[in-house]
Amino acid sequence: MKQQLQPLLSLPLLLILLSHCTGISAQGAPAASPDAGPVADAPAPPGPTNVTKILEKSGNFNLLIRLLKTTQVDTQLYSQLNDSYSKLTILAPTDAAFSKLKSGSLNSLSESQKDQLLQFHLIPDFLTISNFQTLSNPVRTQAGDQFEYPLNITTSGNSVNITTGLVNTSISGTVYTDNQLAVYQVDSVLQPYGIFAPKPLPPAPAPAPEKAKHKKKASDDSPVAAVKSAAGSVVCDLSRNGLVSIGVAVVFAAAMFL
């Protein structure tokens, strides 16, 4: 019996021994160094806001994107937004807005006019919807001259109405906004006078009127003086003839009484 129990007792002892050795091995293994392996690079800071990518993501501004690229205004905007102090608001016409233009009117514009048309849709300031209430008309755009490129904006509650004198429209949605750039959707292309209906320049101020000159007295040789002289002679002759007639009458009357 003793010989049969020995193998049964040795098996539990063997398991205990193995588990004990495994624990010692785990405790003695060196911990992995926290510096082991390559360290991931920190994410690069974001670059300037890309206006064309914002418009592409919206998917409703294909004609505007094409115009931005052909005039290279997209490069201008990228550089402009690279300056953290630069603020910008874009009034972005949709594809449907461009379809309202007269057929061929956009293609008939020169490159300079296309550039100015885009600049007319850019306000050099960051504006929230509530900020539009604080603007003074005419609103300054990047097109410059406010005589040929007047832009007037009025608000009524959350509604922002825009007029150029040729077009009336309103902001119909917010495409993008952060603390530097705001992009708003408009449903008509903003047509300025300077491109689509040039106005004549205002007239120059009239010169100051000259001081009235004193009239000269008519000279003795003038026709008026001659007439006056002749009239005076006639009066004198009549006076003399009258006196002579009176004298003759008196003498005749005296002779009758004698």
Measure the CA–CA gap between 45 and 206, rounded to whole angstroms.
Answer: 61
Task: Count Cβ neighbours within 10 Å for each residue of 81-106 and write b for 16 or more, e otherwise.
Answer: beeeebbbbbbbbbeebbeebeeeee
151: pLDDT strictly greater than 90: yes
- Give the contacts of 149 (CB within 8 A, at least 6 positions apart): 116, 120, 141, 143, 192, 193, 194
Do residues 175 and 185 lie in contact, with contact meaning Cβ atoms separated by under 8 Å?
yes
pLDDT at 111: 96
- pLDDT tens for each residue of 177-200: 999 999 999 999 999 999 998 766
Q: What is the mean pLDDT of the chain?
A: 77
Q: Between β-strands 168-177 and 181-186, what pairing exists: parallel, antiparallel or unpaired?
A: antiparallel
The pTM of the full predicted model, rounded to 2 decimals, is 0.62
